[in-house]
DNA sequence: CTGAAAGCGCTAACAA
DNA sequence: TTGTTAGCGCTTTCAG
């Protein structure tokens, strides 16, 4: 059995409450006693049991962060920023991955419940109803998902998507495709709405699709057959998968068709040709989500996005 | 306050222990009583408090996984496999990131302590002494790090690195470089030793370096000046950073110099030219680490690696 | 400033 | 099969 507060108390002839106080309210204990307790604790290798502490205080000092897919390069910067923000306020952040499965989402929130003081749900896929139930059980903030009465950090992907389409239009494209994301995704919905009526652009929607490289590759033929010269993809991964698929079909990017991703992930930045993409403020979102959670502030924040033009977009063929 | 076992007990006129049993040992309670308890619990929205439970049982049902850098594409497949393995045995896995900082490593283990039943430490950077202290406080398994008496999952990177160098030699290269990884890394040490004496190859070691894209870019000039025609990099990220840096310098890959990465990460797979690399059994490692942790088996496992030849390696210039 | 005592939510003997 | 009774390790009144 590990060494407990009682062992320390015994070791320096003092009562447990005094030991407890030396750790949770040091100023309330005599300086000399404090050093004695501290050194005894040190010597015995005493570590406060946070689970036990949380039982009385109701606080755990932990936060949870739930993402759909750790392997999606969109998330790591968000997670790292969230982690830094949590640390800065003396919290620990535990991360879990739902594998894009709404059921696991629920399960994980339940698992976190009582072991964390709050949870950040990133791009949750659950239905509104299920989500409502979840956020009722524990302080939560949502990232890229809107829900009545729940603190939210949103990225202005609508504007970014629109700018991306306008970029295409400006290049001379007339008929373009939107390769949409998964059905439950707020982001995908926003994008759809935002690009529905860009002046001068005829937009065909393809999807829903998995938010992965495979999702993009899978629709390459469909895109090639759609008679479009430009594409906005749900995210960088989908864009890259699409480019790979197009390549197999002998369609070159940006020679034959221009492709724009969304996220500005490291993967897109390193890809060749370097991916034109909509930069998402992921780090800001991670930081803000944690800050809002800790300060229990209720707010709806909209973070800006911007277009990063790189090498996968060009004027349509035939237009110099 | 949340609804407790006591509320449920009161609600259906039964004692707390009965409610407790309904959840932890359902077969020990009358079928009819059980349904009554269950429906009352459901209705009240009762959720067992796992922290409280762990206080008496000594078990939490959670595992911790600590990685150096979530943003390194090496880790996500490992994490996902670990997560799946944990789920399969009815555990939850919480992930944390140390930002390559040994001090945070220690802090995180302590934070996990008592909130998880064991932890998987992936490529820890701590000193042997610090690590020894850590693994003493909680059941642990190490991935890619060797420590006397501690359960370990290792990847045979030595063999992979050697094969990579032999591939270079076979292509006709004579003078090559190893762009090494960080100082505290077991993997980097293994690689260094493994490539020290490949027949027919003259190897210059450059490093230690950060295990990131920047780490690779930073030594591009040095590599270009080293008079080598082939390079083995510490990982895919370093390889890619190096290629980018070389490119800036007007050195083409694989035209002027061949580059091999290690990991076989998605990033390398998607890069152009497609990266020749040493595939690491990351998913296997994640799965095994969790299984070993749960079964409390003590073992040292060595997982195989293999070379994946793609497009960044070619014979040295002048050799057809 | 420190000790005594109650209790956080739950489980685990032990009885009944 | 169910109730009773102790705690798990810690914090937090309340006295002293």
pLDDT of residue B202: 97
Query: Out of B79, B108, B115, whose CB is closest to A97?
Result: B79
Which residues are CB-contacts of B102 (< 8 A; sequence separation ≥ 6)? B124, B125, B126, B127, B130, B184
Query: Within a domain: residue A52?
Result: no
Q: Determine, for residues A270 and B96 on separate chains, whether the beta-carbon distance falls below 8 Å.
A: no
Residue A240 touches partner B, C-beta closer than 8 Å: yes
> For residue range B100-146, what is the model confidence (pLDDT) as tens digits?
999 999 989 988 888 999 999 999 999 999 999 999 889 999 999 99
pLDDT of residue A137: 87
Strands B258-263 and B230-233, how do they pair?
A: parallel
DSSP state of A92: E
In this complex, the nucleotide whose C1' atom is nearest to the CA atom of residue B25 is C11
Query: Within a domain: residue B50?
Result: no
Average pLDDT, chain A: 94
Q: How many domains are contained in chain B?
A: 3
B48: left (phi over 0), alpha (psi -120 to 50) or beta: beta
**Do A204 and A240 sit in the same domain of this protein?**
yes
Mutate to test the interface with A, among B62, B74, B114 (most CBs of A within 10 A): B114
> By CB neighbour count within 10 A (0-12 exposed, 13-18 middle, 19+ buried), where does B48 fall?
middle
Query: Out of B60, B70, B94, whose CB is closest to A79?
Result: B70
Chain length of chain B? 320
Place of tokens 């962060």: A65
Residue B137 touches partner A, C-beta closer than 8 Å: yes
The mean per-residue pLDDT over the stretch B3-19 comes to 92
Is B184 or B215 the better-scoring residue by pLDDT? Answer: B215
Is pLDDT of B319 > 80? no
Is pLDDT of B313 > 60? yes
- Tell which residue, B242, B240, B244, B266, has the closest CA to residue A236: B266
Query: Within a domain: residue A223?
Result: yes
Query: Out of B54, B70, B94, whose CB is closest to A96?
Result: B94
**Do A183 and A247 sit in the same domain of this protein?**
yes
pLDDT of residue A145: 96
Q: In this structure, is the CB of residue A92 within 7 Å of any atom belonging to strand D?
A: no
Give B-chain residues touching A47 at CB under 8 angstroms: 110, 113-114, 137
Three-state SS for A115?
Answer: coil
The mean per-residue pLDDT over the stretch A156-181 comes to 98
Residue B270 touches partner A, C-beta closer than 8 Å: yes
Give A-chain residues touching B114 at CB under 8 angstroms: 2, 47, 49-52
Chain B nearest-CA distance from A233, in A, is 17
Which residues are CB-contacts of B74 (< 8 A; sequence separation ≥ 6)? B235, B236, B263, B265, B280, B282
Mutate to test the interface with B, among A63, A76, A88 (most CBs of B within 10 A): A76
CA gap A167, A147 in Å, rounded:
31
- Tell which residue, B54, B95, B8, has the closest CA to residue A54: B54
Give the pLDDT band of residue A112 (cuts 50, 70, 90).
confident
CA gap B84, B80 in Å, rounded:
6
> For residue range A154-168, what is the model confidence (pLDDT) as tens digits?
999 999 999 999 999
The phi and psi torsions of B64 (rounded to 5 degrees) equal -110, 150
> For residue range A226-283, what is the model confidence (pLDDT) as tens digits?
999 999 999 999 999 999 999 999 999 999 999 999 999 999 999 989 999 999 999 9
Q: Determine, for residues A71 and B76 on separate chains, whether the beta-carbon distance falls below 8 Å.
A: yes
In strand C, which positions have an atom below 7 A from any protein CB? 1-5, 7-13
- Chain A 50-79 residues whose Cβ is under 7 Å from strand D: 52-53, 55-57
Mutate to test the interface with A, among B81, B137, B266 (most CBs of A within 10 A): B266
The mean per-residue pLDDT over the stretch B43-47 comes to 90
Average pLDDT, chain B: 94
**Do B67 and B108 sit in the same domain of this protein?**
yes
> What CATH number is given to the structural domain containing B22?
1.10.260
Residue A61 (CA) to nucleotide C7 (C1'), in angstroms, measures 21
**Do A66 and A142 sit in the same domain of this protein?**
yes
Q: In this structure, is the CB of residue A232 within 7 Å of any atom belonging to strand C?
A: no
- Contact indicator for B36, B14 with CB cutoff of 8 Å: yes
Is pLDDT of A36 > 60? yes
**Do A288 and A264 sit in the same domain of this protein?**
no
pLDDT of residue B34: 92
Place of tokens 């997560």: B83
Query: Within a domain: residue B57?
Result: no
The mean per-residue pLDDT over the stretch B9-21 comes to 92
Query: Within a domain: residue A90?
Result: yes
**Do B263 and B187 sit in the same domain of this protein?**
yes
Query: Within a domain: residue A319?
Result: no
The mean per-residue pLDDT over the stretch A105-116 comes to 89
Q: In this structure, is the CB of residue A18 within 7 Å of any atom belonging to strand C?
A: yes
In this complex, the nucleotide whose C1' atom is nearest to the CA atom of residue B15 is D3
Q: What angle do CA A85, A88, A92 make, to 5 degrees?
A: 75
**Do B147 and B70 sit in the same domain of this protein?**
yes
Query: Within a domain: residue A51?
Result: no
Query: Within a domain: residue B238?
Result: yes
Distance between alpha carbon B130 and the CA centroid of its chain, in Å?
A: 19
The mean per-residue pLDDT over the stretch B209-217 comes to 97
**Do B118 and B174 sit in the same domain of this protein?**
no
The mean per-residue pLDDT over the stretch A104-111 comes to 90
pLDDT of residue A2: 82
H or E stretch covering B90: none
pLDDT of residue B2: 81
Give the pLDDT band of residue A1 (cuts 50, 70, 90).
low
**Do B176 and B267 sit in the same domain of this protein?**
yes
> What CATH number is given to the structural domain containing B231?
3.40.50.2300
Task: Count CB-CB contacts under 10 A for residue A307.
Answer: 22
pTM beyond cutoff 0.85? yes
Q: State the nearest residue by CA to the C1' of C12.
A: B56
**Full residue range of the structural domain in which residue B72 is found:** 62-155+283-305
Q: State the nearest residue by CA to the C1' of C13.
A: B17
DSSP secondary structure, B236-253, as one string: HHHHHHHHHHHHHTT--T
**Do A192 and A251 sit in the same domain of this protein?**
yes
In strand D, which positions have an atom below 7 A from any protein CB? 1-5, 7-13
**Do B34 and B175 sit in the same domain of this protein?**
no
CA gap A58, B11 in Å, rounded:
24
- Chain B 26-55 residues whose Cβ is under 7 Å from strand D: 28-30, 32-34, 52, 55
H or E stretch covering A262: strand A258-263
Is pLDDT of A319 > 70? no
> For residue range A55-74, what is the model confidence (pLDDT) as tens digits?
999 999 999 999 999 999 99
Residue B143 (CA) to nucleotide C7 (C1'), in angstroms, measures 42
Largest CA distance in chain B: 89
**Do A80 and A168 sit in the same domain of this protein?**
no
Q: Determine, for residues B92 and A77 on separate chains, whether the beta-carbon distance falls below 8 Å.
A: no
**Token couple for B18:** 């009965």
pLDDT of residue A237: 97
């Amino acid at each position: 059995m590990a060494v407990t507060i009682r062992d320390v108390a015994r070791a320096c002839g003092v009562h447990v409450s005094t030991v407890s106080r030396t750790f949770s309210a040091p100023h309330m204990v005599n300086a000399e006693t404090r050093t004695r307790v501290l050194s005894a604790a040190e010597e015995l290798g005493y570590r406060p049991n946070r689970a036990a502490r949380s039982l009385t205080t109701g606080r755990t000092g932990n936060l949870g962060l739930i993402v759909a897919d750790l392997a999606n390069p969109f998330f790591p910067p968000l997670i790292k920023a969230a982690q830094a923000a949590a640390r800065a306020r003396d919290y620990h952040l535990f991360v879990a991955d739902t594998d894009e499965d709404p059921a696991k989402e629920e399960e994980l929130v339940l698992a976190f419940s009582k072991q964390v003081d709050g949870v950040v749900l990133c791009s949750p896929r659950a239905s509104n109803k299920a989500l409502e139930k979840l956020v009722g059980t524990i302080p939560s903030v949502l990232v890229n998902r809107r829900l009545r009465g729940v603190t939210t950090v949103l990225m202005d992907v609508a504007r970014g998507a629109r700018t991306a389409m306008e970029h295409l239009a400006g290049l001379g494209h007339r008929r373009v495709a939107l390769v949409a994301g998964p059905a439950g995704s707020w982001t995908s919905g926003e994008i759809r709405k935002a690009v529905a009526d860009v002046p001068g652009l005829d937009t065909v929607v393809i999807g829903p699709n998995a938010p992965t490289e495979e999702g993009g590759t899978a629709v390459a033929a469909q895109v090639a057959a759609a008679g479009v010269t430009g594409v906005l993809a749900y995210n960088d991964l989908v864009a890259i998968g699409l480019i790979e698929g197009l390549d197999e079909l002998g369609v070159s990017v940006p020679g034959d068709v221009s492709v724009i991703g969304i996220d500005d992930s490291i993967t897109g930045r390193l890809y060749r040709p370097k991916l034109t993409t909509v930069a998402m403020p992921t780090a800001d979102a991670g930081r803000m989500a944690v800050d809002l959670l800790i300060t229990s502030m209720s707010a709806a924040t909209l973070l800006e996005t911007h277009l990063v033009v790189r090498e996968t977009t060009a004027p349509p063929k035939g237009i110099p």
